[in-house]
Structure 1
Amino acid sequence: MNWGLGVKAFNFVVLSLLGGLSLGGINFSNAADASAIRAAVESQDRLARDKARDGSRHSEAILNFFEVAPGQRVLDLFSGGGYYSELLARVVGEQGSVLVHNNQAYLPFAKEDLAERHYRERLPNAELIICEADELQLPDESLDRIFFILGFHDTYYQEPGWPAIDRERLLEQMFISLKFGGIVAIIDHDAAPGSDTGTAHELHRLAKQHAIDAMETAGFKLKGSLDVLENPEDKLTLSAFDEAVRGKTSRYVLKFVKP
Protein backbone atom coordinates (compact mmCIF):
# COMPACT_ATOMS: atom_id res chain seq x y z
CA MET A 1 0.00 0.00 0.00
CA ASN A 2 1.34 3.42 -0.91
CA TRP A 3 1.11 5.77 2.09
CA GLY A 4 3.04 8.56 0.45
CA LEU A 5 2.53 11.37 -2.01
CA GLY A 6 3.24 10.52 -5.62
CA VAL A 7 6.08 12.30 -7.43
CA LYS A 8 4.84 15.35 -9.34
CA ALA A 9 6.23 16.58 -12.61
CA PHE A 10 6.97 20.28 -12.12
CA ASN A 11 5.54 21.61 -15.30
CA PHE A 12 5.21 25.39 -15.12
CA VAL A 13 4.86 25.99 -18.84
CA VAL A 14 1.13 25.55 -19.25
CA LEU A 15 -0.73 27.71 -16.74
CA SER A 16 -4.39 28.54 -16.55
CA LEU A 17 -6.91 29.49 -13.91
CA LEU A 18 -7.04 25.80 -13.07
CA GLY A 19 -3.37 24.91 -13.42
CA GLY A 20 0.04 26.07 -12.06
CA LEU A 21 1.07 27.75 -8.79
CA SER A 22 -0.72 28.70 -5.59
CA LEU A 23 -0.77 32.46 -5.11
CA GLY A 24 -2.96 34.61 -2.88
CA GLY A 25 -5.48 31.87 -2.18
CA ILE A 26 -6.01 31.16 -5.89
CA ASN A 27 -4.86 27.67 -6.74
CA PHE A 28 -2.91 26.94 -9.88
CA SER A 29 -2.36 23.17 -9.98
CA ASN A 30 0.36 21.90 -12.29
CA ALA A 31 -0.75 20.87 -15.75
CA ALA A 32 -0.34 17.12 -15.20
CA ASP A 33 -2.57 17.19 -12.12
CA ALA A 34 -5.17 19.37 -13.85
CA SER A 35 -5.24 16.82 -16.67
CA ALA A 36 -5.84 13.96 -14.21
CA ILE A 37 -8.68 15.93 -12.63
CA ARG A 38 -10.26 16.68 -16.00
CA ALA A 39 -10.05 12.98 -16.93
CA ALA A 40 -11.71 11.98 -13.64
CA VAL A 41 -14.59 14.42 -14.10
CA GLU A 42 -15.12 13.42 -17.72
CA SER A 43 -14.86 9.66 -17.10
CA GLN A 44 -17.60 7.74 -18.88
CA ASP A 45 -17.65 5.29 -15.97
CA ARG A 46 -19.06 7.83 -13.49
CA LEU A 47 -22.65 7.43 -12.32
CA ALA A 48 -25.34 9.37 -14.15
CA ARG A 49 -26.59 10.81 -10.86
CA ASP A 50 -23.11 12.20 -10.17
CA LYS A 51 -22.79 13.82 -13.58
CA ALA A 52 -26.17 15.49 -13.10
CA ARG A 53 -24.76 17.22 -10.00
CA ASP A 54 -21.60 18.53 -11.61
CA GLY A 55 -23.14 21.80 -12.78
CA SER A 56 -23.95 22.97 -9.27
CA ARG A 57 -20.91 21.50 -7.54
CA HIS A 58 -18.12 22.79 -9.80
CA SER A 59 -16.09 19.72 -8.91
CA GLU A 60 -13.28 20.35 -11.38
CA ALA A 61 -12.59 23.79 -9.92
CA ILE A 62 -12.86 22.38 -6.38
CA LEU A 63 -10.42 19.52 -6.98
CA ASN A 64 -7.92 21.88 -8.58
CA PHE A 65 -8.25 24.40 -5.76
CA PHE A 66 -7.41 21.73 -3.20
CA GLU A 67 -4.51 20.45 -5.35
CA VAL A 68 -5.63 16.84 -5.57
CA ALA A 69 -3.11 14.79 -7.53
CA PRO A 70 -2.23 11.23 -8.55
CA GLY A 71 -0.54 9.18 -5.82
CA GLN A 72 -2.08 10.97 -2.87
CA ARG A 73 -3.78 9.34 0.12
CA VAL A 74 -7.03 11.14 0.91
CA LEU A 75 -9.68 10.88 3.63
CA ASP A 76 -13.26 11.71 2.61
CA LEU A 77 -14.74 12.36 6.05
CA PHE A 78 -18.51 11.80 6.39
CA SER A 79 -18.54 11.01 2.69
CA GLY A 80 -22.29 10.42 2.42
CA GLY A 81 -23.26 9.02 -0.96
CA GLY A 82 -19.69 9.24 -2.25
CA TYR A 83 -19.87 11.94 -4.94
CA TYR A 84 -16.41 13.23 -4.01
CA SER A 85 -15.07 9.84 -2.93
CA GLU A 86 -15.40 8.54 -6.47
CA LEU A 87 -13.82 11.61 -8.06
CA LEU A 88 -10.96 11.52 -5.56
CA ALA A 89 -10.35 7.82 -6.21
CA ARG A 90 -10.21 8.44 -9.95
CA VAL A 91 -7.76 11.34 -9.57
CA VAL A 92 -5.32 9.69 -7.14
CA GLY A 93 -5.27 6.52 -9.25
CA GLU A 94 -3.71 3.15 -8.59
CA GLN A 95 -0.74 4.61 -6.73
CA GLY A 96 -3.02 6.52 -4.34
CA SER A 97 -5.96 5.63 -2.14
CA VAL A 98 -9.08 7.15 -0.60
CA LEU A 99 -10.44 6.39 2.85
CA VAL A 100 -14.23 6.58 2.48
CA HIS A 101 -15.71 7.32 5.90
CA ASN A 102 -19.31 7.30 7.09
CA ASN A 103 -20.97 6.79 10.43
CA GLN A 104 -24.10 4.72 10.89
CA ALA A 105 -26.36 7.78 11.00
CA TYR A 106 -25.25 8.92 7.54
CA LEU A 107 -25.95 5.61 5.81
CA PRO A 108 -29.78 5.84 5.56
CA PHE A 109 -29.52 9.24 3.83
CA ALA A 110 -26.96 7.95 1.34
CA LYS A 111 -28.42 4.53 0.60
CA GLU A 112 -29.57 5.27 -2.98
CA ASP A 113 -26.17 6.58 -4.02
CA LEU A 114 -24.28 3.84 -2.20
CA ALA A 115 -26.45 1.15 -3.78
CA GLU A 116 -24.93 2.11 -7.14
CA ARG A 117 -21.40 2.91 -5.97
CA HIS A 118 -19.98 -0.64 -5.67
CA TYR A 119 -16.59 0.62 -4.52
CA ARG A 120 -14.79 -2.71 -4.45
CA GLU A 121 -15.65 -3.57 -8.04
CA ARG A 122 -15.48 -0.10 -9.60
CA LEU A 123 -12.93 1.70 -7.39
CA PRO A 124 -10.58 -0.80 -5.73
CA ASN A 125 -8.36 2.00 -4.34
CA ALA A 126 -11.27 3.16 -2.13
CA GLU A 127 -11.12 1.81 1.43
CA LEU A 128 -14.43 1.85 3.34
CA ILE A 129 -14.56 2.91 7.00
CA ILE A 130 -17.82 2.78 8.95
CA CYS A 131 -17.39 4.15 12.46
CA GLU A 132 -18.41 7.01 14.68
CA ALA A 133 -16.23 10.11 14.60
CA ASP A 134 -15.16 9.56 18.20
CA GLU A 135 -13.89 6.08 17.28
CA LEU A 136 -11.82 7.21 14.31
CA GLN A 137 -8.16 6.22 14.63
CA LEU A 138 -5.81 7.40 11.89
CA PRO A 139 -2.05 6.81 11.64
CA ASP A 140 0.14 9.86 12.22
CA GLU A 141 1.09 11.89 9.13
CA SER A 142 -0.49 9.36 6.78
CA LEU A 143 -2.76 11.65 4.73
CA ASP A 144 -2.08 14.19 2.00
CA ARG A 145 -5.61 15.58 1.85
CA ILE A 146 -8.77 15.53 3.98
CA PHE A 147 -12.13 16.38 2.42
CA PHE A 148 -14.89 17.38 4.84
CA ILE A 149 -17.83 18.25 2.61
CA LEU A 150 -21.16 19.54 3.97
CA GLY A 151 -20.53 17.89 7.31
CA PHE A 152 -18.58 20.32 9.48
CA HIS A 153 -21.84 21.71 10.91
CA ASP A 154 -22.67 18.19 12.13
CA THR A 155 -19.89 18.47 14.70
CA TYR A 156 -22.22 21.00 16.41
CA TYR A 157 -25.44 19.08 15.75
CA GLN A 158 -27.40 17.64 18.65
CA GLU A 159 -30.42 15.41 18.16
CA PRO A 160 -31.71 12.14 19.68
CA GLY A 161 -30.37 9.31 17.56
CA TRP A 162 -27.45 11.37 16.26
CA PRO A 163 -24.20 10.47 18.04
CA ALA A 164 -22.64 13.52 19.66
CA ILE A 165 -19.21 14.33 18.24
CA ASP A 166 -16.21 15.34 20.32
CA ARG A 167 -15.16 18.06 17.90
CA GLU A 168 -11.84 18.78 19.60
CA ARG A 169 -10.86 15.11 19.42
CA LEU A 170 -11.91 14.84 15.77
CA LEU A 171 -9.94 17.93 14.74
CA GLU A 172 -6.94 16.66 16.69
CA GLN A 173 -7.18 13.34 14.81
CA MET A 174 -7.33 15.24 11.53
CA PHE A 175 -4.31 17.37 12.45
CA ILE A 176 -2.17 14.46 13.62
CA SER A 177 -3.01 12.26 10.62
CA LEU A 178 -2.28 14.96 8.04
CA LYS A 179 1.23 15.35 6.68
CA PHE A 180 2.95 18.67 7.16
CA GLY A 181 1.89 20.87 4.27
CA GLY A 182 -1.20 18.71 3.74
CA ILE A 183 -4.54 20.33 2.94
CA VAL A 184 -8.01 20.12 4.48
CA ALA A 185 -11.00 20.99 2.31
CA ILE A 186 -13.99 22.40 4.17
CA ILE A 187 -17.23 23.07 2.27
CA ASP A 188 -20.44 23.78 4.15
CA HIS A 189 -23.79 25.56 4.05
CA ASP A 190 -23.22 29.13 5.21
CA ALA A 191 -25.35 30.83 7.88
CA ALA A 192 -25.89 34.52 8.54
CA PRO A 193 -22.73 36.33 9.73
CA GLY A 194 -22.78 36.72 13.48
CA SER A 195 -25.21 33.83 14.03
CA ASP A 196 -24.37 31.38 16.79
CA THR A 197 -23.65 27.69 16.34
CA GLY A 198 -27.30 26.85 17.06
CA THR A 199 -27.90 27.17 13.31
CA ALA A 200 -26.19 23.79 12.93
CA HIS A 201 -29.09 22.16 14.76
CA GLU A 202 -31.86 24.45 13.54
CA LEU A 203 -30.90 24.94 9.88
CA HIS A 204 -28.09 22.45 9.13
CA ARG A 205 -25.89 25.49 8.48
CA LEU A 206 -22.85 27.03 10.14
CA ALA A 207 -21.50 30.54 9.67
CA LYS A 208 -18.10 30.51 7.98
CA GLN A 209 -16.29 32.20 10.85
CA HIS A 210 -17.15 29.37 13.24
CA ALA A 211 -15.48 26.87 10.91
CA ILE A 212 -12.41 29.11 10.56
CA ASP A 213 -12.13 29.64 14.33
CA ALA A 214 -12.46 25.93 15.11
CA MET A 215 -9.88 24.90 12.52
CA GLU A 216 -7.36 27.56 13.52
CA THR A 217 -7.77 26.68 17.20
CA ALA A 218 -6.89 23.09 16.22
CA GLY A 219 -3.64 24.31 14.63
CA PHE A 220 -4.58 24.57 10.96
CA LYS A 221 -3.87 27.70 8.93
CA LEU A 222 -6.40 29.19 6.52
CA LYS A 223 -4.72 29.51 3.10
CA GLY A 224 -7.57 30.63 0.88
CA SER A 225 -11.19 30.41 -0.15
CA LEU A 226 -13.14 29.97 -3.36
CA ASP A 227 -16.45 31.64 -4.21
CA VAL A 228 -17.77 29.29 -6.90
CA LEU A 229 -20.44 27.84 -4.58
CA GLU A 230 -21.69 31.14 -3.17
CA ASN A 231 -25.29 32.06 -3.98
CA PRO A 232 -26.27 35.69 -3.27
CA GLU A 233 -29.95 34.78 -3.62
CA ASP A 234 -29.76 32.48 -0.58
CA LYS A 235 -30.77 34.56 2.45
CA LEU A 236 -29.04 32.06 4.77
CA THR A 237 -32.14 31.75 6.97
CA LEU A 238 -33.88 28.63 5.62
CA SER A 239 -32.95 25.06 6.47
CA ALA A 240 -30.48 23.61 4.00
CA PHE A 241 -33.11 20.92 3.38
CA ASP A 242 -35.89 23.38 2.59
CA GLU A 243 -37.04 22.73 -0.98
CA ALA A 244 -36.68 26.45 -1.78
CA VAL A 245 -32.90 26.24 -1.33
CA ARG A 246 -32.02 22.55 -1.34
CA GLY A 247 -29.06 22.05 -3.64
CA LYS A 248 -28.77 25.82 -4.05
CA THR A 249 -27.54 26.99 -0.67
CA SER A 250 -24.68 29.45 -0.49
CA ARG A 251 -21.63 27.42 0.48
CA TYR A 252 -18.16 28.46 1.57
CA VAL A 253 -15.08 26.68 0.27
CA LEU A 254 -12.14 26.95 2.67
CA LYS A 255 -8.59 25.65 2.25
CA PHE A 256 -6.59 24.92 5.40
CA VAL A 257 -3.04 23.59 5.66
CA LYS A 258 -1.04 21.92 8.39
CA PRO A 259 1.91 24.32 8.78
Structure 2
Amino acid sequence: MKTRFAFGLSVALLLAGVAHAQQAAQDQPAGDLVPPTSASDFTAGQLDSALAGSWRSAPNKARDVYRHPKATLQFFGLQPDKTVIEITPGGGWYSEILAPILRDNGHYIAAVPAGNGAEERQDADALRAKFKTDPAQYSKASVITFNPKAPVLGAPGSADMVLTFRNVHNWVMAGNAEAMFKAFYAVLKTGGTLGVAEHRAATGATLDAVKGSGYLPTDYVIKLATDAGFKLDGQSEINANPKDTKNYPKGVWTLPPSLALGDQDRDKYLAIGESDRMTLRFVKTGVNKAPAVPAAATTAANPGAH
Protein backbone atom coordinates (compact mmCIF):
# COMPACT_ATOMS: atom_id res chain seq x y z
CA MET A 1 0.00 0.00 0.00
CA LYS A 2 3.01 2.23 -0.33
CA THR A 3 4.52 3.07 -3.70
CA ARG A 4 1.32 2.78 -5.72
CA PHE A 5 -0.29 5.47 -3.56
CA ALA A 6 2.71 7.81 -3.23
CA PHE A 7 1.55 10.46 -5.67
CA GLY A 8 -2.05 10.37 -4.49
CA LEU A 9 -0.75 10.76 -0.97
CA SER A 10 1.19 13.87 -1.88
CA VAL A 11 -1.91 15.63 -3.15
CA ALA A 12 -4.17 14.35 -0.38
CA LEU A 13 -2.01 15.35 2.50
CA LEU A 14 -0.68 18.60 1.14
CA LEU A 15 -3.95 20.00 -0.20
CA ALA A 16 -6.41 18.54 2.34
CA GLY A 17 -5.31 20.59 5.27
CA VAL A 18 -2.55 18.72 7.04
CA ALA A 19 -1.06 21.88 8.49
CA HIS A 20 -1.61 20.33 11.89
CA ALA A 21 0.66 17.49 10.83
CA GLN A 22 3.66 19.73 10.33
CA GLN A 23 4.54 20.15 13.98
CA ALA A 24 7.19 17.39 13.88
CA ALA A 25 9.52 18.95 11.29
CA GLN A 26 10.38 22.13 9.42
CA ASP A 27 11.38 22.13 5.74
CA GLN A 28 14.94 23.35 6.04
CA PRO A 29 18.40 22.06 5.15
CA ALA A 30 20.07 20.03 7.84
CA GLY A 31 23.28 21.36 9.30
CA ASP A 32 26.05 19.49 11.05
CA LEU A 33 25.05 16.75 13.42
CA VAL A 34 24.67 17.69 17.05
CA PRO A 35 27.89 16.83 18.94
CA PRO A 36 27.25 13.71 21.02
CA THR A 37 27.40 13.54 24.79
CA SER A 38 26.20 9.94 24.82
CA ALA A 39 25.15 7.29 22.32
CA SER A 40 21.48 8.15 22.78
CA ASP A 41 22.16 11.90 22.50
CA PHE A 42 24.15 11.25 19.34
CA THR A 43 21.25 9.33 17.76
CA ALA A 44 18.72 11.96 18.85
CA GLY A 45 20.82 14.68 17.24
CA GLN A 46 21.13 12.74 14.02
CA LEU A 47 17.40 12.04 13.98
CA ASP A 48 16.62 15.72 14.39
CA SER A 49 19.00 16.58 11.55
CA ALA A 50 17.60 13.90 9.27
CA LEU A 51 13.99 14.81 9.99
CA ALA A 52 14.69 18.44 9.10
CA GLY A 53 16.71 17.48 6.02
CA SER A 54 16.07 19.32 2.77
CA TRP A 55 16.22 15.99 0.91
CA ARG A 56 12.98 14.84 2.56
CA SER A 57 9.92 15.58 0.47
CA ALA A 58 7.20 17.84 1.86
CA PRO A 59 4.55 15.08 1.66
CA ASN A 60 6.80 12.76 3.64
CA LYS A 61 7.43 15.39 6.29
CA ALA A 62 3.68 15.95 6.56
CA ARG A 63 3.27 12.35 7.67
CA ASP A 64 5.65 12.63 10.63
CA VAL A 65 2.70 13.41 12.89
CA TYR A 66 1.21 10.00 12.06
CA ARG A 67 4.38 7.91 11.81
CA HIS A 68 6.36 9.44 14.71
CA PRO A 69 9.74 8.50 13.22
CA LYS A 70 11.94 9.93 15.96
CA ALA A 71 10.14 8.22 18.83
CA THR A 72 9.73 5.02 16.83
CA LEU A 73 13.41 4.69 15.91
CA GLN A 74 14.48 5.58 19.44
CA PHE A 75 12.16 2.88 20.76
CA PHE A 76 13.73 0.37 18.39
CA GLY A 77 17.18 1.42 19.64
CA LEU A 78 18.67 2.75 16.41
CA GLN A 79 22.38 3.58 16.62
CA PRO A 80 24.39 5.23 13.82
CA ASP A 81 27.14 2.60 13.68
CA LYS A 82 24.92 -0.40 12.96
CA THR A 83 23.95 -2.40 9.89
CA VAL A 84 20.22 -1.91 9.43
CA ILE A 85 18.04 -3.71 6.89
CA GLU A 86 14.66 -2.19 6.09
CA ILE A 87 12.27 -4.68 4.52
CA THR A 88 10.16 -3.49 1.58
CA PRO A 89 10.64 0.26 2.06
CA GLY A 90 8.29 1.17 -0.80
CA GLY A 91 9.01 4.69 -1.98
CA GLY A 92 11.66 5.20 0.68
CA TRP A 93 9.81 7.13 3.38
CA TYR A 94 12.06 5.79 6.13
CA SER A 95 15.04 5.59 3.74
CA GLU A 96 15.17 9.39 3.77
CA ILE A 97 15.78 9.23 7.53
CA LEU A 98 17.78 6.05 8.00
CA ALA A 99 20.28 6.27 5.14
CA PRO A 100 21.78 9.64 6.17
CA ILE A 101 22.02 8.59 9.82
CA LEU A 102 23.82 5.36 8.94
CA ARG A 103 25.92 6.84 6.11
CA ASP A 104 29.21 7.50 7.89
CA ASN A 105 29.57 4.71 10.43
CA GLY A 106 26.85 2.18 9.67
CA HIS A 107 25.12 0.69 6.66
CA TYR A 108 21.54 1.10 5.44
CA ILE A 109 20.22 -1.75 3.30
CA ALA A 110 16.85 -1.56 1.55
CA ALA A 111 15.52 -5.05 0.86
CA VAL A 112 12.87 -5.21 -1.86
CA PRO A 113 11.07 -8.27 -3.22
CA ALA A 114 12.36 -9.61 -6.51
CA GLY A 115 9.84 -10.51 -9.15
CA ASN A 116 8.70 -10.08 -12.69
CA GLY A 117 5.72 -7.93 -11.74
CA ALA A 118 5.61 -4.28 -12.71
CA GLU A 119 5.19 -3.14 -9.12
CA GLU A 120 8.23 -5.07 -7.87
CA ARG A 121 10.42 -3.67 -10.64
CA GLN A 122 9.03 -0.19 -10.10
CA ASP A 123 9.79 -0.26 -6.37
CA ALA A 124 13.39 -1.39 -6.85
CA ASP A 125 14.08 0.96 -9.76
CA ALA A 126 12.49 3.94 -8.03
CA LEU A 127 14.51 3.38 -4.88
CA ARG A 128 17.80 3.08 -6.78
CA ALA A 129 16.93 6.24 -8.72
CA LYS A 130 16.12 8.04 -5.48
CA PHE A 131 19.50 7.11 -4.04
CA LYS A 132 21.30 8.36 -7.15
CA THR A 133 19.64 11.78 -6.98
CA ASP A 134 21.40 12.73 -3.74
CA PRO A 135 24.73 10.90 -3.34
CA ALA A 136 25.63 13.07 -0.36
CA GLN A 137 22.91 11.31 1.60
CA TYR A 138 22.52 7.94 -0.14
CA SER A 139 25.86 7.03 -1.72
CA LYS A 140 26.55 4.28 0.82
CA ALA A 141 23.00 2.91 0.94
CA SER A 142 22.37 -0.44 -0.71
CA VAL A 143 19.38 -2.01 -2.44
CA ILE A 144 19.07 -5.79 -2.39
CA THR A 145 16.33 -8.08 -3.66
CA PHE A 146 14.90 -11.24 -2.15
CA ASN A 147 12.54 -14.03 -3.13
CA PRO A 148 9.47 -13.63 -0.87
CA LYS A 149 8.81 -17.37 -0.90
CA ALA A 150 12.37 -18.28 0.16
CA PRO A 151 13.82 -15.01 1.44
CA VAL A 152 17.52 -14.55 2.15
CA LEU A 153 18.50 -11.09 3.34
CA GLY A 154 22.25 -11.48 3.67
CA ALA A 155 24.88 -13.65 5.32
CA PRO A 156 23.70 -15.25 8.56
CA GLY A 157 24.34 -13.02 11.56
CA SER A 158 25.38 -10.02 9.45
CA ALA A 159 22.81 -7.40 10.53
CA ASP A 160 22.30 -5.54 13.79
CA MET A 161 18.73 -4.51 13.13
CA VAL A 162 15.85 -5.42 10.83
CA LEU A 163 12.96 -2.97 10.48
CA THR A 164 9.64 -3.30 8.71
CA PHE A 165 6.77 -0.84 8.57
CA ARG A 166 3.21 -1.75 7.51
CA ASN A 167 4.20 -4.86 5.56
CA VAL A 168 3.25 -7.89 7.64
CA HIS A 169 -0.37 -7.90 6.42
CA ASN A 170 0.85 -8.24 2.83
CA TRP A 171 2.97 -11.27 3.72
CA VAL A 172 0.08 -12.84 5.60
CA MET A 173 -2.22 -12.44 2.61
CA ALA A 174 0.48 -13.89 0.32
CA GLY A 175 1.26 -16.80 2.66
CA ASN A 176 4.89 -15.70 3.14
CA ALA A 177 4.83 -14.35 6.69
CA GLU A 178 6.47 -17.30 8.43
CA ALA A 179 9.28 -17.43 5.86
CA MET A 180 9.91 -13.71 6.23
CA PHE A 181 10.24 -13.82 10.01
CA LYS A 182 12.59 -16.80 9.78
CA ALA A 183 14.72 -14.80 7.34
CA PHE A 184 14.82 -11.88 9.79
CA TYR A 185 16.06 -14.22 12.50
CA ALA A 186 18.69 -15.77 10.23
CA VAL A 187 20.27 -12.48 9.11
CA LEU A 188 20.41 -10.88 12.57
CA LYS A 189 23.31 -11.19 14.96
CA THR A 190 22.64 -12.67 18.37
CA GLY A 191 21.33 -9.74 20.39
CA GLY A 192 20.08 -8.04 17.24
CA THR A 193 16.76 -6.21 17.09
CA LEU A 194 13.67 -6.69 14.96
CA GLY A 195 11.37 -3.65 14.87
CA VAL A 196 7.82 -4.04 13.54
CA ALA A 197 5.11 -1.44 12.98
CA GLU A 198 1.82 -2.82 11.68
CA HIS A 199 -1.86 -1.92 11.36
CA ARG A 200 -3.51 -3.13 14.58
CA ALA A 201 -6.81 -4.99 14.56
CA ALA A 202 -9.44 -4.40 17.23
CA THR A 203 -8.90 -6.21 20.52
CA GLY A 204 -10.31 -9.72 20.29
CA ALA A 205 -10.47 -9.80 16.49
CA THR A 206 -9.50 -13.09 14.89
CA LEU A 207 -7.11 -13.42 11.98
CA ASP A 208 -9.82 -14.92 9.77
CA ALA A 209 -12.09 -11.96 10.44
CA VAL A 210 -9.56 -9.28 9.54
CA LYS A 211 -7.10 -10.97 7.19
CA GLY A 212 -8.23 -9.09 4.09
CA SER A 213 -8.67 -5.74 5.83
CA GLY A 214 -4.99 -4.87 6.22
CA TYR A 215 -5.26 -5.02 10.01
CA LEU A 216 -3.73 -7.83 12.08
CA PRO A 217 -4.19 -9.02 15.68
CA THR A 218 -1.22 -8.04 17.82
CA ASP A 219 -0.94 -11.49 19.40
CA TYR A 220 -0.74 -13.04 15.94
CA VAL A 221 2.17 -10.83 14.89
CA ILE A 222 3.94 -11.54 18.17
CA LYS A 223 3.48 -15.27 17.57
CA LEU A 224 4.97 -14.99 14.08
CA ALA A 225 8.11 -13.52 15.63
CA THR A 226 8.38 -15.80 18.65
CA ASP A 227 7.77 -18.89 16.51
CA ALA A 228 10.79 -17.80 14.44
CA GLY A 229 12.93 -17.65 17.59
CA PHE A 230 12.59 -14.04 18.73
CA LYS A 231 11.82 -12.79 22.22
CA LEU A 232 9.37 -9.91 22.63
CA ASP A 233 11.41 -7.09 24.14
CA GLY A 234 8.92 -4.23 24.21
CA GLN A 235 5.62 -2.79 22.99
CA SER A 236 4.82 0.87 22.49
CA GLU A 237 1.76 3.03 21.87
CA ILE A 238 3.84 5.55 19.90
CA ASN A 239 1.83 4.88 16.74
CA ALA A 240 -1.59 4.38 18.31
CA ASN A 241 -4.62 6.19 16.86
CA PRO A 242 -7.77 5.92 19.00
CA LYS A 243 -9.83 7.58 16.23
CA ASP A 244 -9.34 4.53 14.00
CA THR A 245 -12.53 2.42 14.26
CA LYS A 246 -11.10 -0.23 11.89
CA ASN A 247 -14.40 -0.94 10.12
CA TYR A 248 -14.25 0.66 6.70
CA PRO A 249 -15.53 -0.29 3.22
CA LYS A 250 -12.01 -0.73 1.83
CA GLY A 251 -10.27 -1.82 5.02
CA VAL A 252 -7.23 0.11 6.16
CA TRP A 253 -6.78 1.48 2.65
CA THR A 254 -9.87 3.63 3.21
CA LEU A 255 -7.76 5.86 5.45
CA PRO A 256 -4.89 8.10 4.37
CA PRO A 257 -2.45 7.80 2.77
CA SER A 258 -4.36 5.51 0.39
CA LEU A 259 -7.84 7.11 0.55
CA ALA A 260 -9.19 4.23 -1.51
CA LEU A 261 -12.69 5.75 -1.74
CA GLY A 262 -11.37 8.86 -3.43
CA ASP A 263 -13.55 11.88 -2.70
CA GLN A 264 -16.24 9.84 -0.95
CA ASP A 265 -16.21 10.90 2.73
CA ARG A 266 -12.71 12.20 2.17
CA ASP A 267 -12.82 14.80 4.94
CA LYS A 268 -14.11 12.20 7.38
CA TYR A 269 -11.18 9.88 6.74
CA LEU A 270 -8.63 12.67 6.74
CA ALA A 271 -9.96 13.69 10.14
CA ILE A 272 -9.38 10.15 11.42
CA GLY A 273 -5.84 10.15 10.09
CA GLU A 274 -3.61 7.18 9.40
CA SER A 275 -4.24 3.80 10.98
CA ASP A 276 -3.84 2.66 14.57
CA ARG A 277 -0.57 0.70 14.67
CA MET A 278 1.17 -1.72 16.95
CA THR A 279 4.87 -1.01 17.50
CA LEU A 280 6.82 -4.07 18.60
CA ARG A 281 10.48 -4.66 19.44
CA PHE A 282 11.96 -8.16 19.41
CA VAL A 283 15.44 -9.43 20.16
CA LYS A 284 17.35 -12.43 18.87
CA THR A 285 18.53 -14.05 22.08
CA GLY A 286 20.19 -17.20 20.78
CA VAL A 287 21.21 -19.17 17.72
CA ASN A 288 19.76 -22.09 15.80
CA LYS A 289 16.23 -21.57 17.06
CA ALA A 290 14.76 -20.96 13.64
CA PRO A 291 14.69 -23.62 10.89
CA ALA A 292 17.60 -23.50 8.48
CA VAL A 293 17.31 -21.38 5.36
CA PRO A 294 16.46 -23.54 2.32
CA ALA A 295 19.55 -24.67 0.43
CA ALA A 296 18.29 -23.18 -2.84
CA ALA A 297 17.80 -19.82 -1.21
CA THR A 298 21.24 -19.96 0.38
CA THR A 299 22.80 -20.59 -3.02
CA ALA A 300 20.92 -17.60 -4.43
CA ALA A 301 22.45 -15.42 -1.74
CA ASN A 302 25.93 -16.70 -2.51
CA PRO A 303 26.29 -16.70 -6.30
CA GLY A 304 29.71 -18.34 -6.12
CA ALA A 305 28.41 -21.41 -4.29
CA HIS A 306 27.80 -24.61 -6.25
User: Aligned residue for 1:240?
Assistant: 252
Are 2:167 and 2:198, in contact at CA under 8 Å, matched by a contact in 1?
Answer: yes
Cα deviation digits, residues 53-106 of structure 1 (max 9, x gap): 112111111111111121211111111111112211111122222121222569
The CA deviation at 1:195 is 2.1
Are 1:76 and 1:147, in contact at CA under 8 Å, matched by a contact in 2?
Answer: yes
Give the gaps of 5 or more residues in structure 1. 1-8, 13-28, 159-163
User: Aligned residue for 1:133?
Assistant: 148
Correspondence 1:119 to 2:131: yes
Aligned length: 228
Correspondence 1:196 to 2:211: no
User: Aligned residue for 2:278?
Assistant: 252
Correspondence 1:178 to 2:188: yes
Alignment of 1:40-59 (within 5 A): 40-59=50-69
User: Aligned residue for 1:222?
Assistant: 232
Q: After superposing the two structures, state which structure 1 stretch, 194-203 or 228-237, moved more.
A: 194-203
The CA deviation at 1:108 is 6.8
d(CA) in 2 for partners of 1:204, 1:69? 30
User: Aligned residue for 1:107?
Assistant: 119
d(CA) in 2 for partners of 1:99, 1:251? 24
Are 2:55 and 2:96, in contact at CA under 8 Å, matched by a contact in 1?
Answer: no
d(CA) in 1 for partners of 2:195, 2:129? 22
The CA deviation at 1:125 is 1.9
User: Aligned residue for 1:205?
Assistant: 215
Q: TM-score, normalised by structure 2?
A: 0.67
Q: Secondary structure at the match of 1:252?
A: strand
Are 2:111 and 2:146, in contact at CA under 8 Å, matched by a contact in 1?
Answer: yes
The sequence identity of aligned pairs, in percent, is: 25
d(CA) in 2 for partners of 1:255, 1:43? 27
Cα deviation digits, residues 141-189 of structure 1 (max 9, x gap): 111111111001122104xxxxx42x33322211111111111111011
d(CA) in 2 for partners of 1:133, 1:43? 33
Q: TM-score, normalised by structure 1?
A: 0.78
The CA deviation at 1:38 is 1.4
Are 1:68 and 1:92, in contact at CA under 8 Å, matched by a contact in 2?
Answer: no
Q: Which has the higher helix share?
A: 2
Cα deviation digits, residues 3-60 of structure 1 (max 9, x gap): xxxxxx9956xxxxxxxxxxxxxxxx62112111211111122222221211211111
- Higher-Rg structure is 2
User: Aligned residue for 2:163?
Assistant: 147
Q: Secondary structure at the match of 2:229?
A: coil
Give the gaps of 5 or more residues in structure 2. 1-34, 260-268, 286-306
Root mean square deviation of aligned Cα = 2.7
